[in-house]
Amino acid sequence: MNALAEALKKNMLFRNKTEQEITGILAKINPTLRNYSRNEHIVREAEPAERMGIVITGIVEVQKMYSTGKVMTVSRFSTGSTVGEAVIFSKTNTYPATVIAAESASVLMFTKKELLALFALDTEIMALFMQNMSERLILLNQRIEILSLGTLRQRIAHFLIKEMKQQKTERIRIPFNKRVWAEHLNSARPSLSRELCYMRDQGWITFDDSTVDILQVGELEGLLQ
């Protein structure tokens, strides 16, 4: 399988397609493959949202920049992930955040016209796009739910319980590093580390750089009551 088709099969729009089907679709739509160096901007906040991208290689980060100079990493995406799809058809039609290449990356870019042509060509892809938008709305509501909790300890407990249910194991793989995790919980990294150490000392969890083992689910659930 060629590398481009292999990467696209990891994307939600093309996951049910064969290499031949993907190659045929791209030949008709003709999107642009762009290469980016580490820390290069892919899109900038407030720019017109004229493109949707699918990450082919590398890692990209979505960042929110504040007037104070603070930069918060909202999320990280790797091969097969889609960026910019949430705003390309919006009335505001500007990017709400900046996307950079966290390392050398290549991104397959679709203009709005190319995306509409893709939907007309394949209604299954259009349905998957709409499904993805619904799932993103659910995730946004979950994020709001996390941030509405009163304390960082409660936010950590909520996150761990949610991930335990999704991953179906009490050994949870954390999908990002401590800095990004802390930003996801609207906290500072030292504060997150202190709370994790407290939970460990209480015997509720154990953890390392990439995993957390939940030992006392009831204690975490009790924080949320």
| Among 143, 174, 201, residue at a domain's last position | 143
pLDDT tens, residue by residue, 31-52: 999 999 999 999 999 899 899 9
The per-residue pLDDT for range 134-156, each reduced to its tens digit, is: 877 766 666 666 666 678 898 89
Is 139 found in the same domain as 163?
Answer: no
CA 221 – CA 34 distance, rounded (Å): 46
- Whether 107 and 182 map to the same domain: the answer is no
Q: Are residues 137 and 59 in the same domain?
A: yes
The CA distances from residue 179 to 187, 196, 222, in Å, are 9, 14, 26
| pTM (predicted TM-score) | 0.66
- Structural domain that includes position 135: 3-143
| Pairwise pLDDT comparison (74 vs 152), residue with the higher score | 152
Task: Say how many domains are in the chain.
Answer: 2
- 212 — pLDDT class (breaks 50, 70, 90): very high
Choose one of 91, 117, 143: the last residue of a domain. 143
Q: 186 and 133 in one domain?
A: no
* Mean pLDDT score across all residues of the chain: 88
pLDDT band at 132 (very low <50, low <70, confident <90, very high): confident
Same domain membership, residue 51 and residue 109: yes
Q: What is the mean pLDDT of residues 64-75?
A: 79
How many Å apart are CA 100 and CA 37, to the nearest integer? Answer: 9
Last residue of a domain, one of 114, 143, 172: 143
Q: Does residue 197 sit in the same domain as residue 156?
A: yes
Q: Which pLDDT belongs to residue 215? A: 94
Question: How is 75-108 classified by DSSP, letter by letter?
Answer: EEE-TT-EESTTTTT-SS-B-SSEEEESSSEEEE
At 37 the pLDDT is 96
Whether 112 and 206 share a structural domain? no
- Report helix, strand or coil for 211: strand
Q: Does 131 share its domain with 219?
A: no
Q: Are residues 127 and 196 both part of a single domain?
A: no
Decide: helix, strand or coil at residue 186.
coil
Tell me, yes or no, whether 12 and 73 share the same domain.
yes
pLDDT of the residue at 171: 94
Do 135 and 189 lie in one domain? The reply is: no
- CATH number for the domain including 174? 1.10.10.10
The token pair that represents 158 in the structure block? 């909520």
- Indicate whether 26 and 66 sit together in one domain: yes
Share of the chain above pLDDT 70, in %: 94
CATH number at residue 138: 2.60.120.10
To which residue do tokens 């990450």 refer?
A: 55
